[in-house]
Homo-oligomer: A and B are copies of this chain.
């Protein structure tokens, strides 16, 4: 009889929702579970919610795959937004989880589920997910960039997630793009790339744009109903050639292009994978972004630079955590 297929659990701990997957070692999803995070209810409730999705998955698998001979591995992977101490299993700083500084997330969850837990930054996890089952299959070296409420990243070098000295690598959104007097960032610093390329930045560009000749429907909407401006609305307007929307993407592309050019010069990476909600509009912003990168590189031909849309959607993080759990088992 063949060795049983191994199944791992990967969890994506988001600010509003916990999304968990049971994934076999070939990357096929065997079960799904999700639940509200309930950050407002406190750390212990969030840990109970995490544990509940894990138990939900184990229950689903007990009825189906495990009976067919699949083997659930012990470690559970949990992707967490923010800066972590991966070795100690602590949250260091996470804007989505105020007051969690120093919280021993790994230990608390292990106590609830009676299994070993591995934690990793969520964007790092998504980079691994894209490498396993998405746009980065077969790539040895790349930067994964997630653009949503914030901007995160994951660096893969020589085929492996690069964690750096303390597991804090990949914080692409906090690379600086303004030397002095930049926009204040949730991280406490100023001038971070995130403040110029996130969903909020795109919205700000539209809201703060001058009215001009008044030919932009998007700008009129921004004046009448500022709350209606979001990345999806901006993308729709850009697709119809709306000038305010295109101007917002131009500003976005200048800063993102600056950040990418810096990574090209520092590491000579050639592949950049774009995930997160704002990257749903990848096809709209990619041509302009490519121009902005081309204007900023030296000794490397733009033809050798590959900007690619992520393929795993909002499953990238949980897929990646399942893969990291398999690697830890």
- List residues of A whose CB falls within 8 A of some B CB: 82-83, 92-93, 141, 153, 155, 157, 162-172, 174-180, 185, 187-191, 196, 254-255, 258, 261-263, 265-270, 295-300, 304
Contact = CB atoms under 8 A, between A and B. Distances in A.
Contact of A141 (B82, B93, B164, B167): B164
A180 B67 CA distance: 60
Contact of A296 (B153, B176, B270, B297): B176
Nearest to A175: B262
A144 to B, nearest CB: 12
B262 A165 contact: no
B258 A176 contact: yes
B266 A266 contact: yes
A240 to B, nearest CB: 26
A226 to B, nearest CB: 25
18 contacts: A155-B267, A164-B267, A166-B270, A167-B268, A168-B300, A169-B265, A169-B267, A170-B266, A171-B298, A175-B266, A176-B177, A176-B261, A176-B262, A179-B254, A179-B255, A180-B254, A189-B298, A191-B296
Given A188-B298, A297-B189, A268 B177 contact: no
Contacts of A169: 265-268
B171 A299 contact: yes
A155 B258 contact: no
Given A175-B262, A254-B180, A255-B179, A299 B92 contact: yes
Contacts of A296: 176, 189-191
Majority DSSP secondary structure for residues of A touching B: loop
Given A141-B165, A258-B179, A298-B188, A171 B93 contact: no
Most-contacted residue by chain B among A191, A268, A295 (CB, 10 A)? A268
Contacts of A177: 176, 179
A172 B168 CA distance: 20
Given A168-B268, A185-B298, 11 more contacts: A83-B299, A162-B267, A169-B268, A171-B265, A171-B299, A172-B265, A174-B265, A175-B262, A179-B196, A188-B298, A189-B298
A174 B267 CA distance: 12
Lowest 7 A-B CB distances belong to which pairs? A164-B268, A83-B299, A187-B298, A169-B268, A171-B265, A175-B262, A174-B265
Contacts of A304: 165-166
Nearest to A298: B187
Contacts of A263: 266
A23 to B, nearest CB: 27
A215 B303 CA distance: 53
Most-contacted residue by chain B among A168, A261, A304 (CB, 10 A)? A168
Contacts of A269: 164-165
A158 B296 CA distance: 29
A180 B291 CA distance: 13
